[in-house]
Structure formats: structure tokens, C-alpha cells
Chains A and B, each alone.
Chain A
Amino acid sequence: MSTPLIETRHLKKYFSTPAGPLHAVDDVSISIQRGQTLGVVGESGCGKSTMGRTILRLIEATDGEVLYNGENILKYNRRQMQEMRKKMQIIFQDPYSSLNPRMSVADIIAEPMKVCKTLPDNKQIYARVNELMEIVGLAKRFVNAYPHELDGGRRQRIGIARALALNPEFIVCDEPVSALDVSIQAQILNLLMDLQDNMGLTYMFVTHDLSVVKHISNEIAVMYLGQCVEKAPADELFRDPLHPYTQALLSAVPKPSLRDRSALQNVIKGEVSNPVNPKPGCRFAPRCAHACEKCTCQDLELKECGPNHFVACALVNQDKI
């Protein structure tokens, strides 16, 4: 396989809290090939967004490496990072707080180009703004509008146009559709997929919505309490989930079928354990129906148990699940 565009190796981000280090991202190693989409799923607070921000160095990692085309960008200095930032961008979850309310639409989209000085003068910058607005499907009459005058979908399009302004290669999509109406979700997802086809973008798509992630991803990584517990190609994961957490997650997807309504669901009991100073072993063990002493004695690594299918579970391959 060629060098992945983005790769993390043992990436860790601990936040210091009065109670001790909070393991937001704990030893995550993932990789994304150029032009592909990695979906990252998991429940609230499992460190998905933190991981996205750590990769972009919006939050400094505690330990580990982030490789971009094989180079560790965590070692980059300020100036190298400035260059790097043109290649990686982020689309935010909340289209209401991610746009500066005091700037007009044109200014918001123009801002990255002004900061990075990619274009020589204002005339060219605003010509490019015009072009970007067309690409993301924003009518020209909104040029002088302010974000509060527009609806969620249009605001998210502004966010996308801003992310595209520097011609990035890699975009972290941090739950870009979860704050939108369902009808608009589809529009934005299709827009993101079209952009990927046309521009060869690479996405890391963070979400908790499984149907969205199935639709858009090539590969999916499932996270639980800061760790990646299973990673597989999208179809494979949905066909044959191996980790008990993934199985539970998938069974929680509502099925639009009357026949299945009484089917017994594999509902997880209990609550997410505390991410501050977690116990060694599988983080999911306290809630797992299959847990045994093997699960809690040592930290588990991702093991390959099929083509490109990795899982961190002590019981897989033992015919127990």
C-alpha cells in the first residue's frame, strides 16, 4: 500500500484535571489513504472531536505522532505549520457558532486567503470567493449577508466554502450534519461527496450517526473512551461487527420495519466509565456482557482478524462471540 495521506501513531491527548489526567484520546493509531474517507464513530465524549482537532494541531497532542505524507507534523515549527495549515482544514458541527457574526459571508470565506496570502490582491480574492460560493451552491445575493440572516444549511455551506478556500487536501469534518435538518443533511452530505470526487479530497468524518457514516465512508473506526476498538472497511463493519461495543452500537440503529420491532435488542447497560485515570484493560469491559478476567488484566492492542479488519478485543478469534 502507498503512504497514507494521514496517519496517527499512538496518538495521545490527556487533559489535566484536578482529579488526574483525563484520557481524551488514548493511543490511537489510524491511517487514511489519499482520496478516501475515514468515518470515526462513537458516543458523546469518546474523544472523536478531540482526535480531529489534535490531528490538525488545534490542540497539542500529549504524545504520539501525526504523519502527513509520512512526515511527523507534530514536530513542525510555527512556519512549517503555517504552510501545513493550507493543506488541512476543518468543518465544524455547529454552523451557528462556527461563523463570526460580525463578518459578512464574503469576508468569512475570504479570511483564510487573506491570512495565508495565497492570492495577491483583494480583487482576485473576491473573485475566488465568488467561485467558491458557486461551488458550494450559495447564491451570489448572499455575498453581503451576515450569517444570522441565513439558515443552517446555507451557513454550513459557508463553513465548507471557507474550508475549501485554501485548496486543502485533507478536511476533518466534525459532525458537519448533526446540527441540520434531515432534508438538509442529505444535501450537505451529497455536496461533500461531490467535492471529494471533483477535488480528490481526503476526509476524516467524525459523527455519531451510523447511517451517515455508512453512506459516506470507505473505512470506519469505532471509538470508545478515547481508544479505537474496531476498524474495518465500511461494508465489512456493518456486515460483520466483531467488537461487542460495535455490535451494540449497530443494533441500536432504528430499523424501519414492523417485523423487527419486537426483536430483542442488544442494549448496553450502565454508563461510560470515567475517562480520568482509566483502569488498564478493555475500557468497555465494565459494560460488556462477555467480559472475563482476560479483558481487564492488560491493555489490548488492535489485532488484524480479517483483510483490513482490526479489532481490540481479547475474546475475538476464540469462538466465544
Chain B
Amino acid sequence: MKKDVQAERAVNELEVKKRGQLSYIWFRFRKNKLAMLGLILLAVMALICITAPLYLSYEDDVVTQHVMEKFTKPFSAGHILGTDHYGRDMFARIVYGGRISLTMGFAIVALSLLIGGTIGAIAGYYGGVVDNILMRIMDVLLALPQILMAMAIVAVLGTDIKNLLIAMTIANIPKFARIVRSAILQIQGQEYIEAAKACGTKDPRIILRHILPNAIGPIVVQATLQIAQSIISLAALSFIGLGVQSPQPEWGTMLSEGKQDMMLYPFVVIEPGLAIMLAVLSFNLMGDGLRDALDPKLKN
């Protein structure tokens, strides 16, 4: 594959032909082994979670209690990761919990990046009064600890996945607003922004095409870290009973339920804990690699 890319480049030297940015980014990303490990881990996890309904029944495996089989040891027949205090299959519960954790982590960050990023971009680009008003609102949001605010919002709106999403999104917005704003402020003084203005480029295009690509590094890193953080926060909220409600499985809920039996049957907390760790780790590894891949200066 490497040879192909080089050969293709050589051909391109002969004529003016635009090469896709994506293929360059992919080319650079692949060279980073740890990032690839993160990506593969995530892909495997996502695949297992997405295809779960094909081989696991939510009713039978995840919710229904089989008290006779409680605390089956891991690696026993039929229950590769054992069973919990109600005799429910740990593997099935972790997989179904992952469906919630991963989607929520992703959705929270995507939403808050979109909203917070837009606010930050507007504040940074236009400055002045607009900047002041928007950022002071963000400061107020930032003044409350994220988890406390999420708790408050959930308490008002009621415990429900949708409300959790809203709460966590609002809690995450100021972080992205800040990071996008500072990135924009830093880049705005560059002469290539002025060059873009000199040929009449409109503001949205300047922001999207000239400023954001140069600010993408810190934003992507923040986003991936924030997915990891959101998974943990979600688990924490569920742990204290404000998040996903039993019997619906979620990694935090599982930790919470397992904590009474932790001393005798440690696997009931180790397994969901490992799942959280693995997801967080692979998001972080991937974020790191993505930042490097997005920067053409680090190409070689």
C-alpha cells in the first residue's frame, strides 16, 4: 500500500490534479501503531455492540433474572464473563451497556462540539460585545462542576436517557466554546486570513476552511478526551442512581450494583470497570493519533 501511494504521488507530479486530503490523513494515521490499536479496539467494540441483537436477546439474557445461576465464575460454559447477583449474563449486560455508553459518549460530544464550537467560533471571530456576552454565559456554566450541573438538570427534568443527554451536553458546551474560541483568536491574526479576506471570502468560509482546519488539533484531542470523560461521567451518574436505571444495564450502573459483592466476587466490578477503561483508553489513543495525522507538518 505504501508503494502505491508513492507511485500515485509520482504520477501526480506530472499533472495538476488535486489529491484528497482524506487519503493523506489516513496515510499518516496508519503509521501510528498505537492510534491504530485504539481504532481497532473501538471498531471491535462498536461492532460487538451494534450486532448484539443478532446473538443476544435483551429480554432473556440481559433483564430476566436467573437466581439459580447467580455469581457463576467467568469462563464457565454459557457465561464467558460469569453472571451477576441476579444470575444475569455479564457479557450480555456489558455489551448492552456499551451500546448506551458508547452512543451516549459520542452523542454528547458531537452535540456539545456542534453547539459549543459554534458559540466559540462566533465569539472568537467577531469579538467585542458578542464575545463578552457569550463567554460570560459560558463562564457561568463553567463555574458549576460538570457532574453537579448534570445532576441538577437531571433532577429537574427527570431521570431519562434523553434528559441525561441534554444535561451532559449543556455541561460540556463551555469547554468546547472555550477551546474553539482560543484557537480562533490565535489563528485570526495570521496573514493568510487577511489574504482570504482580500479576495472577498465570506466569514463562514474563512472560519470553516481557513481557521478550523488549523485549529483542529486541540479540538479533536479535546473531543476524544471528552468522549472518554463523558463515558466516565455517565457511569458516575448511573453509579449514584441518576443515570440509567436498573434493570437496564450500563457500565456505571453495573459497577454500582456490583459494589456490595465486590469482596467475594470481584469480577462483577472488574469487568465493567475494564470495559470503561478499554473504551476510554482507545478513544484517547485514537485522539492522539488523529491530531498528528491532521497536521501536515508532521507528515514525515
Contact = CB atoms under 8 A, between A and B. Distances in A.
Contacts of A103: 213
A90 B299 contact: no
A100 B214 contact: yes
Contacts of A166: 199
Nearest to A90: B198
Given A111-B196, A116-B200, A126 B296 contact: no
Contact of A100 (B9, B12, B192, B297): B192
A101 interface: yes
24 contacts: A58-B194, A85-B199, A86-B199, A86-B200, A92-B194, A97-B190, A98-B194, A99-B192, A100-B213, A102-B213, A102-B214, A102-B296, A103-B213, A106-B16, A111-B199, A115-B199, A129-B16, A140-B13, A140-B15, A140-B16, A143-B16, A144-B18, A159-B195, A166-B199
Given A102-B213, A148-B296, A85 B17 contact: no
A273 interface: no
A97 B191 contact: yes
Contacts of A85: 198-200
B200 A101 contact: no
Nearest to A126: B16
Contacts of A111: 196, 199, 201, 209
Interface of A: 53, 56, 58, 81-82, 85-86, 88-90, 92-94, 97-104, 106-107, 111-112, 115-116, 122, 126-127, 129-130, 133, 140-141, 143-144, 146, 148, 159, 162, 165-166
A148 B18 contact: no
A68 to B, nearest CB: 15
Contact of B200 (A81, A90, A94, A146): A81
Contacts of B2: none
Interface string B177-192: 0000000000000111
Interface of B: 9, 12-19, 190-192, 194-202, 205, 209-210, 213-214, 296-297, 299
Given A115-B200, A126-B16, A130-B15, 13 more contacts: A82-B200, A85-B200, A90-B194, A99-B192, A101-B214, A101-B297, A111-B201, A112-B199, A140-B15, A143-B16, A144-B18, A146-B297, A166-B199
Which has the most chain B C-beta neighbours within 10 Å: A86, A130, A143? A143
B189 to A, nearest CB: 9
A98 B16 contact: no
A112 B206 CA distance: 12
Given A112-B199, A116-B199, A144 B297 contact: no
B286 to A, nearest CB: 20
Nearest to A166: B199
B198 A89 contact: yes
A111 B201 CA distance: 9
Contacts of A102: 213-214, 296
A152 to B, nearest CB: 14
A171 to B, nearest CB: 10
Contacts of A140: 13-16
B128 to A, nearest CB: 12
A90 B199 CA distance: 9
A92 B9 contact: no
Contacts of B19: 104, 144
Nearest to B294: A102
Nearest to B198: A90
Contacts of A159: 195
A36 B101 CA distance: 67
